[in-house]
């Protein structure tokens, strides 16, 4: 269920308006949460913008320590350590993230599932696989997967994984969550505008220094130098999930690195998904979910969610979009 960026996102910056004389735009690229973050801040001065970027970086680092499953001292690691043994008391922030994750699992019928971390890695996408895993190996690989076995006690703020060997991980929602929390921090400090871009899972607020909306260009995955659409992001977010960088081919059939946690088999029929909504956390989770659901089910699902839109590129390289997406090819 891990994601890689397949649709490149470009920002259109317009400095024609006199308002830009009152503000400066500063961006910085950082390595955080094992990913490439680009933090862009629009502020009254370069010094102020850099101060806020430092604050944003510290917030992302704080969140990483909270949700990291590779930090043995994190609450997430303790939940995994005591799977099948006892509940673990966690702080309300982590409890809330897990609670929301379970709700997304329910509405996606398990296409999104933070217990995907329990899967045995029988599929490898590093070039070392000589043949696909057997049906028995695949079935065994998902034996401990199942969000229904996460038991929450809100009154005690505890999380319990019912079965030994179960694990949770936030690879399909964590960066979006970090982007949302960092944006909230910046808004609490009255930062004029900015972008938190977590390897393509991004959220925006305010306007460019020129006063115009942030504009993103979605490039064709087959030719990343060509943009097929420009879309405005106004206090909004976007996340992209794709299979261009990690896959294997056996007997002419392509197997994506995005695995359905319900079956253990790689998803098929879609090359990339981009989800647009107010919440980067929701975009992050739904991008992977729709990839697993498939084109028809995914489009029908998104069209039922208010304030959420989607662009899908299928395995035949055809573009599909939800009802609210209006392409602007001129920019």
The span from the CA of 304 to the CA of 248, in Å, is 34
Give me the pLDDT at residue 222, please. Answer: 61
Give me the pLDDT at residue 2, please. Answer: 42
pTM here is 0.91
Helix (H, G, I), strand (E, B) or coil at 326: coil
- Which domains, and CATH codes, for the chain? 9-67+173-321 (3.10.520.10), 75-161 (1.10.3980.10)
- Rounded to the nearest 10°, the torsion over CA 38, 40, 46, 51 is -70
pLDDT digits (tens, 9 = 90+) for 106-128: 999 999 999 999 999 999 998 89
Give me the pLDDT at residue 330, please. Answer: 53
Residue whose pair of structure tokens reads 């079935």 in the numeric block = 139
Expressed in angstroms, the distance from the first to the final Cα of the chain is 34
pLDDT digits (tens, 9 = 90+) for 129-153: 999 999 999 999 999 999 999 999 9
pLDDT tens for the chain, 331 residues: list them. Answer: 444 333 444 555 554 454 556 899 999 999 999 999 999 999 999 999 999 999 999 999 999 999 999 889 899 999 999 999 999 999 999 999 999 999 999 999 999 999 999 999 999 998 899 999 999 999 999 999 999 999 999 999 999 999 999 999 999 999 999 999 999 999 999 999 999 999 889 999 999 998 899 988 776 666 656 676 788 898 999 998 888 778 888 888 888 899 999 999 999 899 889 999 999 999 999 999 999 999 999 999 999 999 999 999 998 889 999 988 886 655 5
Strand partners, 309: 276
Sheet bearing 214-220, strands edge to edge = 9-12, 214-220, 223-233
Residue 101 tokens, joined: 């994750």
The span from the CA of 325 to the CA of 306, in Å, is 13
Residue whose pair of structure tokens reads 């056996």 in the numeric block = 250
* DSSP-assigned states of every residue in 145-172: --GGGEEEETTTTEEEESSTT-----TT
Give me the pLDDT at residue 220, please. Answer: 64
Residue whose pair of structure tokens reads 């370069």 in the numeric block = 46
**φ, ψ dihedrals at 46, nearest 5°:** -65, -40
């Amino acid at each position: 269920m891990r994601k890689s960026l397949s649709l490149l996102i470009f920002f259109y910056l317009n400095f024609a308006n006199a308002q830009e004389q009152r503000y400066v735009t500063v961006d910085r690229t950082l390595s955080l949460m094992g990913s490439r973050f680009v933090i862009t801040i629009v502020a009254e001065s370069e010094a102020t913008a850099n101060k806020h970027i430092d604050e944003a970086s510290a917030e992302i680092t704080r969140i990483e320590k909270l949700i990291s499953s590779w930090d043995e001292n994190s609450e997430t690691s303790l939940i995994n350590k005591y799977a099948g043994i006892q509940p673990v008391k966690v702080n309300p922030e982590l409890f809330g993230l897990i609670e929301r994750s379970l709700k997304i699992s329910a509405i996606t019928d398990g296409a999104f599932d933070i217990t995907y971390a329990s899967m045995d890695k029988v599929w490898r996408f590093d070039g070392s696989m000589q043949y696909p895993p057997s049906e028995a190996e695949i079935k065994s690989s998902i034996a401990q997967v199942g969000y229904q076995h996460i038991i929450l006690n809100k009154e005690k703020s505890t999380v319990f994984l019912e079965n030994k060997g179960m694990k949770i991980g936030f690879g399909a929602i964590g960066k979006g969550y970090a982007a949302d929390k960092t944006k909230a921090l910046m808004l609490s400090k009255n930062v004029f505008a900015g972008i938190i871009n977590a390897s393509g899972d991004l959220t925006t607020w305010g306007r460019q220094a020129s006063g115009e909306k942030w504009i993103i260009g979605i490039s064709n995955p087959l030719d990343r130098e060509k943009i097929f659409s420009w879309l405005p992001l106004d206090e909004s977010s976007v996340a992209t999930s794709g299979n261009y960088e990690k896959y294997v081919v056996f007997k002419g059939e392509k197997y994506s690195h995005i695995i359905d946690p319900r079956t253990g088999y790689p998803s098929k029929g879609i090359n990339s998904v981009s989800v647009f909504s107010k919440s980067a956390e929701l975009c992050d989770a739904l991008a992977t979910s729709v990839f697993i659901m498939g084109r028809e089910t995914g489009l029908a699902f998104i069209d039922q969610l208010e304030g959420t839109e989607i662009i899908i590129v299928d395995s035949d390289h055809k573009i599909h979009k939800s009802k609210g997406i209006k392409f602007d090819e001129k920019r």
